[in-house]
Amino acid sequence: MAVGSLLIGLALAALVACGPVASPTAQAPAATSPSASVTAVPNPSGLATIRESQLPAEGRRTLVLIRQGGPFPYSRDGVTFSNFERVLPRKSGGYYKEYTVPTPGESDRGARRIVAGKDGEKYYTPDHYASFKFIAEGK
């Protein structure tokens, strides 16, 4: 059983390292530059802002996947984020969804996430929900 788990873990790590399956010419520009279809969303939270270009490369790739609607490398990507920490603005249940931002060298999902609200706002947390920054997309 341990060998099977190791193989699954290695396969997931390879998938994350390679990014989503797409033609290299179609994927490279979207993953490294802001998407032309990004609509500016105002910051409704009062939290500090981080520009999309300031996110780690893995965070920018996760944003591309969110915009494309997947496919996502982790089964927990797209699940409801309940905001138990109350750092983000309070909204009704199911308003927020969370997505993994892989951390190089981690054997699991790591602590980094992007949380997306139904109104299009997105937040980055490098420390598993202890703190958040509003993502200024397209910047």
Please tell me the CATH code under which domain 2-136 is placed.
3.10.450.30
Q: What is the pLDDT of residue 40?
A: 78
CA–CA distance, 90 with 112 (Å, rounded to integer): 21
Question: What is the full per-residue pLDDT of the chain (139 aa) written as tens digits?
Answer: 444 444 444 444 444 444 443 333 333 334 444 444 667 789 999 999 999 999 999 999 999 999 999 999 999 999 999 999 999 999 999 999 999 999 999 989 999 999 999 999 999 999 999 999 999 999 9
The question of whether 128 is a catalytic residue gets the answer yes
CA–CA distance, 82 with 71 (Å, rounded to integer): 22
Among the options 52, 58, 121, 128, which is catalytic?
128
The question of whether 98 is a catalytic residue gets the answer yes
Among the options 58, 98, 121, 137, which is catalytic?
98
H helices of the chain, in order, are 2-18, 24-32, 57-68
Model confidence, pTM: 0.73
CA–CA distance, 47 with 20 (Å, rounded to integer): 30
